[in-house]
Structure formats: structure tokens, C-alpha cells
Amino acid sequence: MPVTSPAKLIDADRLWARHMALARFGAREDGAVDRPALSVTESEARAQLVAWGREVSLSPFTDRMANLFLRLEGRDPSLPPVLAGSHIDSQPTGGKFDGAFGVLAALEAVQAIAAQGGRPLRAIEIVAWTNEEGSRFAPGMSGSEVFTGKKSLDEAYASRDQAGILQGDAVRDVLSRDVDIPLRDSGFPIHAYIEPHIEQGPLLEAAGVPIGIVTGIQGTRRYRVKVTGEAAHAGTAFRAERRDALMAAVRMIAAIDRATLKPDDTKLTVGLFQVTPNAPSVVPSEVLFSIDLRHPENEVVDAMDLRIREIVEAERGPCTVELKQIAHAPSLTFPGEIRSLIVAAAAGEGIPAMDIYSAAGHDSRQLHYVCPTGMIFVPCRGGISHNPAEWAEPAHIAAGAKVLANVIWQLAR
Amino acid sequence: MPVTSPAKLIDADRLWARHMALARFGAREDGAVDRPALSVTESEARAQLVAWGREVSLSPFTDRMANLFLRLEGRDPSLPPVLAGSHIDSQPTGGKFDGAFGVLAALEAVQAIAAQGGRPLRAIEIVAWTNEEGSRFAPGMSGSEVFTGKKSLDEAYASRDQAGILQGDAVRDVLSRDVDIPLRDSGFPIHAYIEPHIEQGPLLEAAGVPIGIVTGIQGTRRYRVKVTGEAAHAGTAFRAERRDALMAAVRMIAAIDRATLKPDDTKLTVGLFQVTPNAPSVVPSEVLFSIDLRHPENEVVDAMDLRIREIVEAERGPCTVELKQIAHAPSLTFPGEIRSLIVAAAAGEGIPAMDIYSAAGHDSRQLHYVCPTGMIFVPCRGGISHNPAEWAEPAHIAAGAKVLANVIWQLAR
């Protein structure tokens, strides 16, 4: 086996062209990508990935969550493989790089390793996890959660999208469209997992540094709050007699917003707000809204959790309220052994790198608990993500793939 | 022609059975009726009305808004007809009586008049106006607004439902399903219009009086408010840098709610609230919400209009806001000549009646400006409407039809 750096064989133009090609699956007129988890659109993008993998003799596999794997066989197929990738589902008005970069960088890195000739000792697998975003089936990361055993297949299958479709049925739909992709069991042993991703924050760009060595992921709690009142006629029901679910929800959200402004790195988002019956002249009988709470310190998240529970009770008025925590992920720190490999890989290529904290959650959060895991960040313009304006520079994309190629080569050779 | 009271020929059992039969079109499991304007469901209910009309030789007509008329011919067909009815579209979780009672009471009254033998001098037409509720195509009352010339056909046709369907296309769809229903021009002269309706308020029930002689309708303004911010990642975008459309909308609504609590008969409702992209981990880029403002005094409505405009600007934060008034109807008083006829008809049957103000808007608001118009209210349980629990007593339904029969007989004979 040659011991030269596979980073030298990264084809930056091909890597960029694949980003633009993948972004056409679900492309919106405003430049955004709308590629819901387990949709026909995602299934078509998945077929494109498989086609690219087959061109360089990678073997596709899938599992009962429709996670997609493209395997470069190792000299010893019995050893746990090195895994690298991310996801290809998007938010409803998502960008071209969130998730896609991790999968395409892994494909390019594996292609570079294969191009060296010979084989690594361990197999290397590119992975695209199902439903990372959670905007179609909540909560997200169901693909990696089932793979790592955190969630049962039955529980994941029972989640429904807003149209009432079961995640299980959507998985079966995607699998039925697959052509010659063998089904494997989930949860096989993994030697290490590396996930490249755009930063989705402004720090790398501000520092002018193309590579972030991710130290950890901030803690998060997610909730669904259901406020139940009573429908009434907008013209006849007196205010004092109403049980207006929307006004109660509005009071709760305004109070939660005010209560979580400090410390100022607290992230509090109400992204989902559904009204029943949602008609202009009917007092709403029910509101369902989401809360997404994140902060790097577990103590801050826990204290705000208590405050949120107090507020929804205090502001419900004549309505009833039900608060359900649907996800709780404490802050985590990635192991030093993987971070050191990323530091060395960047240094070896002469690419500036710095430590950085991940404010966003990623599938690496799940893999962290079953194998040595790390993340490589590249800058994105203005820190903007989940937005049509999301953008990463071709040179940064290529730098990320180069560092990844050397890291997984070190792990697999 | 006989001069006996047609009220004696009202068949209370048939009238009640027709209410229950009509409520099956769009029946929900919770007892509510979901019969959107110009839907297939409404079209099927319309066919049922036509069938009932044909059984007693009433001739159906429609117009380019799909308003439905069932005509009992008069001795002099050249005279403007007497019109009575209401609407059969419903709110998404509406009741069995709102609208339906007015149409079915008119059908029963005309059937009673026809059963006397002979013909009235003037034709009598039962009418079901299109899209009174406005929950599918906003604003409501588009059928009566076009009929009375308040709104152009083009303007009504251009309104879209939440799925993006044009009201014009929905009208054509309904007309294409009609079987042998001649199309007439709108806006022909009307001798008088009488609309029976459930009160949708608690006063008649509280007073124990089965008939309300409606003195007028309270003033109303309706708005759509569009708040535009910027989508961002819930985990990475700092609060201070966000342009969160939902948080701005919540601040506006909370402030508008507080500012309109006095006088305490002010009705302020935010019934519609739509979020883009409406995903749990995306900071919302846009919120569209409705405001429905009503009060019996025009001065109060006008003062609050100014206050609402101030608040949306004051609370928008880093977002932009666009407030559009989509409807403005001042308070009105029905003419004494029609109210006197209702008083006399109730007295003639020995049915207790009282004056009452309408807090809700009705198609009679539009007809009031083109012909002598009046309304007959009957009680509904607890004053509840736009709700599965909406309920009216069979005896009150029959009382309303009896009074109506005598009023239109007086107007038409």
C-alpha cells in the first residue's frame, strides 16, 4: 500500500460539481433545497449517490431505517469499518450544503483513497443517515438513533408527518424504490465515525480559518406544547367567556422568550405553530407549538427547563396545557484521539485549523456513544444555514474533504 | 287565495329531519360539520337542497358565484321576488345550524305557503349564498357581495384558499357538477330579504324567548398581518442576530390583546396563524395572521383600528410588517317596516319575541343596502357556535320557521 496522503488526490472540481448536482434534487426557485426525509425527492438523490458510488465500485447497503451505506472493502472484511458521512434530507427551505457536504466529502475522500491503488486494512463506509433534520418526522436523527440502539425501530416507525404518514410507511416506500441495494441489520460495530459539516455559525469565517476541529456539541431540549381551549364565534363570544387557545399560547411564548434572553448565547426557538381550526372568524380551540432550547452548559438548559414548565402553567388562563419533552441531549465532548487525528491531518496539508464548539446537533451525537467520533467543520457565509442563502466556498469544501481523506486513511489503513 | 296563516302548515318533524340530513354532508366524528365553501361536500349538500325543492315543484337557479335559488313562482312573475335564506357552507369545525337553519326554514316556509294552494302575488325564492363563512376563501360573504354589486366578480374569483385554489375555479367546479340548474345574472331587483339564523350568543336562551327580532349588526374590521423576518438555524443563530418573524408576531398579538380588553364587549380574535417554514428547528421567516375586530359602536372600532396599526409597527423589532385591512363593515340598523312584520308574525302565532342585536355578520349585511332586510334569530344552547357543540332546540327551529312563513307570506301575497 502507498503511504502518500490521499488528500493529494481530492478532485475539487468534481466535488463541487457533485454539490451542485445533488442540490438540483428538491431545488426551489429561491435557491433553497426542499428535500424532505424519505420523500420521493430524497429517494432520487439517494439513487444518484448510489450511481456515483458504483462508478468507483463501492457497494451500496441499506437498513430498516433506509440509512444508506457505500462500502469500500478492506483487506480484512471482518474488521469494524471506518464510517464517514452525514445526511441528505433538508429543512423545507434548507441550503445546498447542510448534510450534503458531509456525504459528498466522504464520497470524494473514499474515491481518493481508492485512487491510490490497493486497499486499506479496514473497510470504509460512506453513510447518509435518514431524517437528521426532523422537520418531516419529529424528532430528527431517527436514522442514527435506531442504528445506535438509542431508539427502537417500532418507536421510530410510529412517528407521523403533518399529513399523517407514518415514518415506517415512508421508509418502506423508499426501500421499495431502491434497485439492488442489499438490506443489512443496523448496529454493527464501527471502528470510528467522522462527520464533516458546514459550521452553521459565523466563527470560522470571522477568524478566516477553513477547518474547525469540533470539540463538542451543545446541550438541547425539545418540547411540544399543546394548548387546549374551546372554539367559539369571533363575533359573538365575549372575551371574558372565551377559552382562546391562541391567546394563551401567545402569552406563554412571549413570556418564555423574555425569560430566556440571558445568558445571551441561549438559543430559544418556536419554529412550529399549528392552530385548530385556523379560520379567521373562529376563536382557536387548540394550538400545538414546538420549543427548541439549546445552550453549551447543561446547568443553564436544566434551569430553563424548569422555568418553561412554570411559565406554561402560569400563562394558560382558562385553557389546559400539556408540555411534552420530545428530546433531551446533554452537552458532549468528542474524544481527544480523534481531535488529534484531525489536527495532524490539517497540519500535514498546511491547512489552518482551530477548535470550535458545535451549536447545532448532528448524527455524530448518536455515534459518539457507540464509537470514537469526531467532526470537521468548514465555514459558511455569514454563519447562515437552514436558509436559501446558505453558502460555502469551493476552496473550503475541498479543504474539508482533504482533511477528511487523511483522517479516515489514518484510521483505516 | 286563502288568507289563513301558513305557519299552521309548518311540519316541525320534517324540518328537524332535514337539519339532521343536511348535517351528514361533511359530518365529523366529533359532531361538527366541515363543509367548506364550494367544496365537493357543499356541492353534494346543494344537490340535496335542489332535490327537496323539486319535490314541491320549486325551480332551481344559480349564478356566476354559484349562489343557489329555489323559486316558487308568483301570480305576477315580473314583480321582484321575496328572498329568504342564508348559507350552507360551514367553518372547519362548524355546527349543524349556523346557516343551514336559515335555508331549511325558508324551504319549509315556502313549502307551507305552497301547501295552502294557489300562488302568492310575488315569487318567493329560497337562497343559499356562497362562501358566507370566509374560512376557505377570505373574506367571507363573497356570494352576497357579488350579488349586491359590492364586489366585482373578478375580485371574488381572484381570492385563493390555503391550497392556492382560485375561488373562480372552485365556482366553476361546483357549476360543472350542477344538473339542469339554469344560470341567471346576479343583481336582479329584490322586494325584501329575510334571513333566519341561530343567535350565536346567549341572550335569547337566558331570557327564555324563542324569537329574536334583529335590530342591527355590529361593526367589524378584518385584517391580514404579514410579518417578514429571516429563516435561521435554531441551534446556531444568536438571538440578538435573529429576525424571528414568530416572536415579532407573538409580541404584536399579545399587545393587541391587552389593548382591546376594554370596553369589555370588544371582540378581538386571531383565528388564523400561518408560519413559514413551520419547522421545529428553523427560526420562522414569515408569519401571516388574521385579526377580526368587532364592536357595536363604530367609534370604538375606528379608535382600535388606529391602535392596532401603531402596535404592529411598535412591536415588529428587526422584522418588517404589512397590515392589510381586508374588510370593513360599519354597524347597521334594519328598517322598522321589516321588524314590525316580524313582531306581528310572532304575536299572531303567540310566540314570545324580543329585540336583539347581532354580534355576528351575516349576508343580510349586504342585502340591507339593496332592499328592505331583516333577520329572525332563534336561541342556541349556551350561545355556542362555530363549534361541534352548537345546538338548537327543535321547538325553537320550528318557531323560527313559523314566524318566517308568516312574514314572507305578508310580503309576497
Could you say which of A200, A253, A279 has the minimum Cβ distance to residue B271? Answer: A279
Task: Please list every residue in chain B whose beta carbon sits closer than 8 Å to the beta carbon of residue A232.
Answer: 384-387
- Nearest-CA distance from A69 to chain B in Å? 26
Domains A6-218+331-412 and A219-329 share a fold: no
pLDDT of the residue at A1 = 42
As a whole number of angstroms, the distance between CA A270 and CA B278 comes to: 9
- Nearest-CA distance from B277 to chain A in Å? 6
**DSSP-based three-state secondary structure for A205:** helix
- Report yes or no: A232 at the B interface, CB cutoff 8 Å: yes
Q: Average pLDDT for residues B315-336, to the nearest whole number?
A: 95
Q: Which of A247, A282, A356 to mutate to test the interface with B (most CBs of B within 10 A)?
A: A282
DSSP secondary structure of A321-363: EEEEEEEEE--EE--HHHHHHHHHHHHHTT--EEEEEE-S--T
Mean pLDDT for chain B? 95
Could you say which of B240, B254, B276 has the minimum Cβ distance to residue A254? Answer: B254
In chain B, how many H helices and how many E strands? Answer: 12, 16
CATH of domain A219-329: 3.30.70.360
Q: Do B236 and A359 touch (CB under 8 A)?
A: yes
DSSP state of B180: S
What pLDDT digit, counting tens, does each position of B346-402 carry? 999 999 999 999 988 899 999 999 999 999 999 999 988 888 999 999 999 999 999
Query: Considering only residues 203 to 222 of chain A, which have any Cβ-Cβ distance to chain B shorter than 8 Å?
Result: 218, 220, 222
Q: Average pLDDT for residues B163-173, to the nearest whole number?
A: 96
Q: Do B238 and A267 touch (CB under 8 A)?
A: yes
- Report yes or no: A159 at the B interface, CB cutoff 8 Å: no
Closest-CA residue of B relative to A384 is B232
Q: Do A235 and B360 touch (CB under 8 A)?
A: yes
Of the CATH numbers 3.40.630.10, 3.30.70.260, 3.40.50.10860, 3.40.50.9100, which one belongs to the domain with range B6-218+331-412?
Answer: 3.40.630.10
Peptide bond preceding A335: is omega within 30 degrees of 0, i.e. cis? no
What pLDDT digit, counting tens, does each position of A363-392 carry? 999 999 999 999 999 999 998 888 899 999
Identify residue B405 by its one-letter amino acid code. A
Cα–Cα distance list, A234 to A258, A291, B197, B354, B384 (Å): 29, 28, 16, 23, 11
* pLDDT band (50, 70, 90) for residue A83: very high
Q: Do A267 and B138 touch (CB under 8 A)?
A: no
> What ipTM does this complex have?
0.74
- Nearest-CA distance from A10 to chain B in Å? 30
Could you say which of A238, A292, A360 has the minimum Cβ distance to residue B265? Answer: A238
- Report yes or no: B231 at the A interface, CB cutoff 8 Å: yes
Task: Please list every residue in chain B whose beta carbon sits closer than 8 Å to the beta carbon of residue A131.
Answer: none
Q: Do A246 and B284 touch (CB under 8 A)?
A: no
DSSP secondary structure of A62-130: E-TT--EEEEE--SSTTSPPEEEEEE----TTB-SSTTHHHHHHHHHHHHHHHHTSS--SS-EEEEEES
Look at the block and give the residue holding cell 464510517. Answer: A83
Task: Please list every residue in chain B whose beta carbon sits closer than 8 Å to the beta carbon of residue A199.
Answer: 236
pLDDT of the residue at B360 = 86
Assess whether pLDDT exceeds 90 at residue B236. Answer: no
Assess whether pLDDT exceeds 90 at residue A20. Answer: yes
What pLDDT digit, counting tens, does each position of A43-66 carry? 999 999 999 999 999 999 999 999
What pLDDT digit, counting tens, does each position of A283-342 carry? 999 999 999 999 988 999 999 999 999 999 999 999 999 999 998 989 999 999 999 999
Assess whether pLDDT exceeds 60 at residue A354. Answer: yes
Q: Which of A228, A269, A289 to mutate to test the interface with B (most CBs of B within 10 A)?
A: A269
For chain A, the structural domain boundaries read 6-218+331-412, 219-329
Task: Please list every residue in chain B whose beta carbon sits closer than 8 Å to the beta carbon of residue A237.
Answer: 201, 267, 383
Query: Considering only residues 253 to 292 of chain B, which have any Cβ-Cβ distance to chain A shorter than 8 Å?
Result: 253-254, 257, 261, 264-285, 287, 290, 292
Q: Do B270 and A251 touch (CB under 8 A)?
A: no
| Across A30-34, A104-108, B202-206, B382-386, least confident range | B382-386
Query: Considering only residues 335 to 354 of chain A, which have any Cβ-Cβ distance to chain B shorter than 8 Å?
Result: none
What pLDDT digit, counting tens, does each position of A192-246 carry? 999 999 999 889 999 999 999 999 999 899 999 999 999 998 988 889 999 999 9
Assess whether pLDDT exceeds 70 at residue A3. Answer: no
Fold for the domain defined by B221-329 = Alpha-Beta Plaits (3.30.70)
Higher pLDDT, A39 or A118: A39
pLDDT of the residue at B1 = 42
As a whole number of angstroms, the distance between CA A35 and CA A23 comes to: 9
- Nearest-CA distance from A346 to chain B in Å? 24
Closest-CA residue of A relative to B138 is A280
* Nearest Cα to Cα of residue A215 among A191, A199, A226: A199
* pLDDT band (50, 70, 90) for residue B3: low
Q: Do B280 and A134 touch (CB under 8 A)?
A: yes
pLDDT of the residue at B2 = 44
Could you tell me what percent of chain B has a pLDDT over 90?
90
- Nearest-CA distance from B201 to chain A in Å? 5
Closest-CA residue of B relative to A387 is B231
Are the CB atoms for A296 and A357 separated by under 8 Å?
yes
- Nearest-CA distance from B191 to chain A in Å? 29
Q: Average pLDDT for residues A239-259, to the nearest whole number?
A: 97
Please state the pTM of the whole predicted model: 0.73
**DSSP-based three-state secondary structure for A195:** strand
Cell of A396: 473550503
Strands in A249-297 per DSSP E? 267-269, 273-276, 282-283, 286-295
Q: Do B271 and A234 touch (CB under 8 A)?
A: yes
**DSSP-based three-state secondary structure for B235:** coil
Look at the block and give the residue holding cell 418553561. Answer: A308
Helix ranges (H only) for A198-288 are 203-207, 245-259
What pLDDT digit, counting tens, does each position of B239-277 carry? 999 999 999 999 999 999 999 999 999 999 999 999 999
Peptide bond preceding A139: is omega within 30 degrees of 0, i.e. cis? yes
Q: Average pLDDT for residues B49-55, to the nearest whole number?
A: 97
Q: Do B359 and A235 touch (CB under 8 A)?
A: yes
Are the CB atoms for A408 and A84 separated by under 8 Å?
yes
How many C-beta atoms lie closer than 10 Å to residue B73's C-beta? 17
